[in-house]
């Protein structure tokens, strides 16, 4: 097989994978945590064995969808962090970006973060909690890296930045999950309250020379 033909095959496979993920997204937006491999295969116009051929099992499909949505969210968070505004507004914009994303697509959020007993009983071996933990860890590491690149935290700053990154992601996830379910206040009020909680040490720290700021 020549190189050009192999490249065409790889491009075709990547395109087909994107099409299947788009079909999965449509089902998840409709069904949330109840989205099944059968429904996704039907939406894509294929059989379930073909879907398994592309993703292995529901865990593989879940990881692909999680990466797709996490990549988009992390890009939006970085944009908010680097916006031309003072640090307090950037902190609020970052919190708001996360909360707005889960508010805009609650079914996707619930699929990624909340197990469904009926689905787990019919599709053996799939544990949402086991798969969602790496997603949150990835977000924590990414945010920690962003903080380390922007704020002078003194000796041991890299470790402190990682602590902050994981702590902020944990706070956003827990508070956002509670808020999405109960809606005790509007989004702006929640953003302001969480920013107040974070603000003490963030207000005191100096920017690193040449960093865009945080």
157-212 pLDDT tens trace: 999 999 999 999 999 999 999 999 999 999 999 999 999 988 876 666 677 776 66
Nearest to 33, CA basis, from 175, 133, 128: 128
Angle ∠(197,85,163) on CA atoms, nearest 5: 40
Cα end-to-end distance, the chain, whole Å = 51
Euclidean distance between CA atoms 39 and 27, whole angstroms: 7
pLDDT band at 8, cuts 50/70/90?
very low
Angle between helices 128-150 and 106-113 (to 10 degrees): 110
pLDDT at 23: 94
Q: pLDDT tens, 22-72?
A: 999 999 999 988 888 899 999 999 999 899 888 888 888 888 888 888 888
pLDDT at 85: 85
Name every residue whose Cβ is closer than 8 Å to that of residue 140 and which is 6 or more positions away in sequence: 162, 165, 166, 167, 168, 169, 170
H or E, element range at 41: helix 37-44
Euclidean distance between CA atoms 173 and 139, whole angstroms: 10
Mean of pLDDT values over 145-159: 88
Decide if 146 contacts 165 (C-beta within 8 A).
yes
pLDDT at 112: 86
Residues 112-121 as b/e (b if ≥16 CB within 10 A, e otherwise) read bbebbeebee
Give residue limits of the domains in the chain: 62-207
Res 142 pLDDT > 70: yes
3-state SS of 125-154 is CCCHHHHHHHHHHHHHHHHHHHHHHHEECC
pLDDT band at 11, cuts 50/70/90?
low
We find that the CATH architecture of domain 62-207 is: Orthogonal Bundle (1.10)
């Amino acid at each position: 097989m020549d190189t050009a033909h192999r490249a065409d095959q790889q491009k075709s496979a990547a395109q087909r994978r994107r099409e299947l993920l788009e079909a999965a997204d449509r089902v998840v937006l409709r069904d949330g945590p109840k989205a099944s491999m059968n429904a996704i295969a039907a939406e894509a116009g294929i059989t379930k064995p073909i879907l398994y051929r592309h993703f292995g099992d529901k865990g593989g499909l879940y990881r692909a969808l999680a990466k797709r949505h996490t990549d988009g969210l992390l890009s939006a968070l970085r944009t908010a962090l680097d916006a031309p505004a003072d640090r307090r507004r950037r902190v609020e914009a970052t919190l708001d970006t996360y909360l707005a994303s889960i508010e805009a697509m609650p079914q996707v959020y619930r699929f990624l973060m909340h197990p469904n007993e009926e689905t787990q009983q019919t599709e053996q071996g799939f544990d949402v909690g086991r798969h969602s933990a790496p997603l949150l860890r990835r977000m924590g590491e990414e945010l920690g890296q962003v903080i380390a690149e922007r704020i002078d935290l003194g000796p041991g700053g890299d470790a402190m930045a990682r602590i902050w990154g994981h702590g902020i992601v944990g706070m956003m996830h827990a508070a956002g999950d509670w808020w999405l379910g109960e809606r005790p206040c509007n989004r702006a009020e929640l953003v302001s309250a969480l920013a107040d909680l974070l603000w003490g040490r963030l207000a005191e720290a100096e920017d690193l020379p040449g960093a865009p700021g945080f």
